[in-house]
A = this chain, B = another copy of it.
Amino acid sequence: MELTHHREWTGRVFIGASLDGFIARPGGDIDWLTDPLPGPRHVSMTSANEVPGWDDFLPSVDHLVMGRGTYEKVLTFAGWPYDGKRVIVLSSMLDADDARITVARTLEDVLRELAGSRARQVYVDGGKVIQTFLRAGLIDEISIGWAPVLIGAGLPLFGFLDSDVQLSLVASNAGDGGMVHARYLVHRRAAQSEGEAVSADH
């Protein structure tokens, strides 16, 4: 389902994954990402087109959309990282008494909230929600950091698609700890002039 109606916002993914494509272990642990085992040495590689890091990315977004699993993971963090941003949790079941979030039951509800809230830069987080947004043509930009580890099982970053999603590589570098970063814009064939990568608000 491609939602072709006009939208005012850019859908952005910023995520770390294991080299085998998982964003968390089956139980949700991200220790392999946040606390990698010491030992392996890595090269780092600067670039003329480096992928902006978290400290640049987070201030650039005004809204977040995430699933229940991601929300519950964030609740385990030392503090709420999203003060000043509108956070929408897409969940058919969640019953939370938390003034920091808005619960949306369906994708259509999310889109209504984003439109009503004049969203411009939307950070889309969590595997299932990222996959839902990708299938609906609502992702414009993907920044991935590949951690130098294979974990063998877990929650997948990507999932089934109705058709290929062509990407335009706009930045890449190798950062600390063997992380390989790459930033892509989603290439929309129908909505563009020849050879131009497009994304909303870019």
Give me the interface of A with B, judged by CB distance under 8 Å. 19-21, 32, 36-43, 45, 47-49, 134, 144, 146, 148-153, 157-174, 178, 180, 182, 184, 187, 189, 192, 194-197
* A167: chain B residues within 8 A (beta carbon): 19, 40, 148-150, 178
Extra 11 A-B pairs, beta carbons < 8 Å, given A20-B158, A146-B182: A19-B167, A39-B195, A43-B49, A45-B49, A148-B166, A148-B168, A148-B184, A149-B165, A150-B161, A152-B158, A167-B178
Residue on B nearest A17 in the bound complex, by CB: B21
Q: Is the interface of A mostly helix, strand, loop or mixed?
A: loop
The 9 closest A-B pairs by CB, nearest first: A152-B161, A169-B178, A20-B158, A40-B168, A148-B167, A150-B165, A40-B187, A42-B169, A21-B21
Number of copies of this chain that the complex holds: 2
Cβ contacts under 8 Å, A47 to chain B: 45, 47, 174
Partner of A169, one of B20, B38, B174, B195: B174
The reply to whether B151 and A40 form a contact with Cβ atoms under 8 Å apart is: no
A142 to B32, CA, bound (A): 19
Pick from B149, B165, B166, B168: contact of A164, CB under 8 Å: B149
Q: Which listed residue, B160, B169, B170, touches A153 by the CB 8 Å rule?
A: B160
